[in-house]
Structure 1
């Protein structure tokens, strides 16, 4: 029995697969699902392209709130939408998510003040759910081997937008104004919703039960408050009253969710059902996501530091930023696509570990890349490939061990963990740079930059531990299946000779 056969047999899905091989219809599904995920990238990143104009228009200095609001809203939406998708249909909830994001973008487009704008961003944050819903859809409408490759495409293909977005959006903004990014996001959401409705089939298996709205609000609100403290703490002051109130509220929400999740009949996430492989996967993802996101943040920072300052690092005056940010996006597409293909043949644990190892090598290479543009570009491409492989493999690992009626919820949990790791360790890296800032300067000492790189490398090394355990577990299961198949073959042979 091959590794592929093992993966298929070990998948807990009892859903009758509609697609066992690649076809024109499946390629069309992949394009439409990727389009839905493009909206998530645009919804999260759209204010960053026009942040100075937004600050001036709304007469505010709260840049962090304007930038992070959609991701924080996504943390609130995710548990509720993930469970709803399992209960009421993945395609139906995906369409609803896209329409919510459309409404939010239109509110942002017409917002007369910053509070209305933030309300629009709250609705726009629902687009965050499109990623894990498309993953669960891929699992249910395709055979396991095909689904893994499709997940690699839909989770990484949207990064192509990151390559062309700055070059396409800049003339649009110049021609139609900074608010045009929100109008474009609204139009894209409508197009994606129509395409999903017309092209993608509904998943045939649904869960039974109810939506634990209280649990969803406790979990989502608690996560959002903690992430707000982490991402906005440096601006508010880590020990300020507002920051401590966010942290306290977040901790209380999460504690309350854990308490009730163990007592209600149908919790939003059944903690008792989280198996060891899923927990190992989530641990590897939170560490690895924190590492590659923090490295992307560092790259954008050092790209704007002139090399002639003599600090020991620096890649220019900002002219290299577009290229340095486009390169990892290309790497994400390549890494995610290859990881899906490899997972379909050898299981997702192998590409996860390869992605983590690749990220570690690229991170160590940035010790030289902080002062050399060619090295930085090469390392950025490798970090992007690592990010694509880690994301696709994480979704494949977590959803592949779940029953079909829980795959949406589990995929949502993966998305939340990736966001938590990204925010937590990007903030930690920023604090390292702040602690080593040169007196009277905005730049940090080279020791701080090296410490930042060291932190990211250590995270990759730690992520390799649970990833290795997952690979070894897969090898043991493969060996057990092979021995079982051999025994069955011997028994059949004996029966024939009789």
Structure 2
């Protein structure tokens, strides 16, 4: 029996229960949304020096971090709105806002208007979790889990080839090509999604708690902004402390009033133990994994001949060091989805954490050996692909359909918090242990290996939490987790 859904089918149209051409087309359309998100977060980093020169500023963090930070504000708003007004509708709105942000960046005459455009582009972060929620609506669970793996991780591999093309164009035509590409991706994604992806029939009646959303999103942006920008603006400067104070006050106020609001954007007091464990695993493990990319970028071109106790001497081999392991993200997502469909998402989540732990521990060797660095970076990227897919799958398995948008937004926000927070901790460790060699400040071996130990320790804590989650799921669903 053909269970393919009609793009404009009547209520009660069945979910996909097997792979078919229409499902592949729908996933391809959703994949375009995630490629757009990659273009917003990754591509501007390729032309960062040109943008700094153009705006005559040294504030790299404002340019590179603003979109991700703004994504923490957009995520709860789009998550709740998607549950009320429809996931496809809000995905197209998010992509159109992203397109508008790209156009603002393209024409910005000053740095601060450019930063405003980057904040609008942060809406692309919502695209990632909304595509996950849509896939879960389109497919029966056995198909949804590998499909989530495909839609969340394959964008990175596609982005590698697109990034190379855009990098060449930017070298010839200037940094604005990056934002032209982002706007084009947004429009193409909206067109394909409207053409091939049906609107979700699952709705939550109610309204968006705008005040609560602003408190939560604004508080997260302020606190993450303090963490991300503190090095540039001074941790104890008046502006930095004001940013931190506003963020803490907003989050405290949101927490105090959320339980009294009938339709709070996120009711964290009623999440349940499995969901709390899932979010803790995501924040610790994804933060640890993504922080290792930062370390690799710092030690990649350091020659071992300098006698620092580390160094990969990867001059001319950066594409191999970062490109080959990136394929692991796609493989990890697909394997995680396959495993989750046949057992339970908790099994895939625990497996991803254990692989990441092995990869982090292996970097004690990889920090001074190029072949070992590639090998263990592949493990770390396998882990990251698995964590992204299984984190969304686990959260989706614990959530009724009418709340998928909100819960998926929480996974996205916790992942961002982990990435920013752990990378900051690692940078602080390196800064506190730096040495001066031949009149130049360099990272010490103590700092590098302490950084690795920090990431490995966080992976180990996440592994304990993942095993606790798996034990609880094994008790509740023995027929799945024991397969």
Distance in 2 separating the partners of 1:247 and 1:456? 25
Please state how far the C-alpha of 1:162 moved relative to its aligned partner.
4.3
Please state how far the C-alpha of 1:265 moved relative to its aligned partner.
1.0
2:230 paired residue among 222, 230, 233 = 233
Distance in 2 separating the partners of 1:283 and 1:124? 27
> Structure 1 stretches (4+) deviating beyond 6 angstroms?
480-483
Could you tell me which residue of structure 2 aligns to residue 202 of structure 1? 199
Could you tell me which residue of structure 1 aligns to residue 56 of structure 2? 59
Could you tell me which residue of structure 2 aligns to residue 450 of structure 1? 449
Does the 8 Å CA contact 1:17/1:140 hold for their aligned counterparts?
Answer: no
Paired residue secondary structure (2:97): helix
Residues 254-306 of structure 1, C-alpha deviations (whole Å, 9 max, x = no match) = 00111111111111112233111110100111100111011111111111212
Residues 480 and 47 of structure 1: is their aligned pair in 2 closer, same or farther, counting only changes over 3 Å? closer
Distance in 1 separating the partners of 2:220 and 2:13? 36
Structure 2 residue 231 is matched with structure 1 residue 215: no
Paired residue secondary structure (2:203): coil
Number of residue pairs matched?
Answer: 470
Could you tell me which residue of structure 2 aligns to residue 27 of structure 1? 24
1:378 paired residue among 375, 378, 397 = 375
Structure 2 residue 157 is matched with structure 1 residue 160: yes
Could you tell me which residue of structure 1 aligns to residue 261 of structure 2? 264
When normalised by structure 2's length, the TM-score is 0.95
Residue range with higher mean Cα deviation, 316-325 or 123-132: 316-325
Could you tell me which residue of structure 2 aligns to residue 462 of structure 1? 461
Structure 2 residue 407 is matched with structure 1 residue 414: no
Paired residue secondary structure (1:238): coil
Describe how 1:149-188 pairs up with structure 2 within 5 A: 149-188=146-185
1:323 paired residue among 317, 320, 324 = 320
2:338 paired residue among 318, 336, 341 = 341
Does the 8 Å CA contact 2:106/2:179 hold for their aligned counterparts?
Answer: yes
Please state how far the C-alpha of 1:116 moved relative to its aligned partner.
0.9
Distance in 1 separating the partners of 2:176 and 2:213? 32
1:110 paired residue among 91, 107, 111 = 107
Please state how far the C-alpha of 1:54 moved relative to its aligned partner.
0.6
How well do the aligned residues superpose, as a CA RMSD in angstroms? 1.7
Distance in 2 separating the partners of 1:143 and 1:457? 36
2:242 paired residue among 240, 245, 251 = 245
Please state how far the C-alpha of 1:308 moved relative to its aligned partner.
1.7
Structure 2 residue 307 is matched with structure 1 residue 310: yes
Does the 8 Å CA contact 1:163/1:327 hold for their aligned counterparts?
Answer: no
1:88 paired residue among 71, 85, 109 = 85
Paired residue secondary structure (2:42): helix
Distance in 2 separating the partners of 1:188 and 1:290? 28
Please state how far the C-alpha of 1:122 moved relative to its aligned partner.
1.0
Please state how far the C-alpha of 1:423 moved relative to its aligned partner.
0.3
Residues 8-61 of structure 1, C-alpha deviations (whole Å, 9 max, x = no match) = xxxxxx987420111111111111111111111111122211111111101111
Please state how far the C-alpha of 1:204 moved relative to its aligned partner.
1.1
Distance in 2 separating the partners of 1:481 and 1:155? 24
Does the 8 Å CA contact 2:344/2:481 hold for their aligned counterparts?
Answer: no
Distance in 1 separating the partners of 2:427 and 2:39? 24
Q: Structure 2: state its 5+ residue gaps.
A: 1-10
Please state how far the C-alpha of 1:307 moved relative to its aligned partner.
2.1
Describe how 1:401-440 pairs up with structure 2 within 5 A: 401-439=398-436, 440=439
Please state how far the C-alpha of 1:119 moved relative to its aligned partner.
1.0
Please state how far the C-alpha of 1:482 moved relative to its aligned partner.
11
Paired residue secondary structure (1:265): coil
Structure 2 residue 142 is matched with structure 1 residue 148: no
Does the 8 Å CA contact 2:258/2:264 hold for their aligned counterparts?
Answer: yes
Structure 2 residue 135 is matched with structure 1 residue 131: no
Distance in 2 separating the partners of 1:480 and 1:307? 52
Distance in 2 separating the partners of 1:35 and 1:251? 36
Paired residue secondary structure (1:253): helix
Residues 288 and 247 of structure 1: is their aligned pair in 2 closer, same or farther, counting only changes over 3 Å? same
Residue range with higher mean Cα deviation, 131-140 or 432-441: 432-441
Distance in 1 separating the partners of 2:341 and 2:372? 32
Q: Structure 1: state its 5+ residue gaps.
A: 1-13, 484-498
Please state how far the C-alpha of 1:481 moved relative to its aligned partner.
9.0
Could you tell me which residue of structure 1 aligns to residue 387 of structure 2? 390
Distance in 1 separating the partners of 2:91 and 2:441? 43
Please state how far the C-alpha of 1:78 moved relative to its aligned partner.
0.7
When normalised by structure 1's length, the TM-score is 0.92
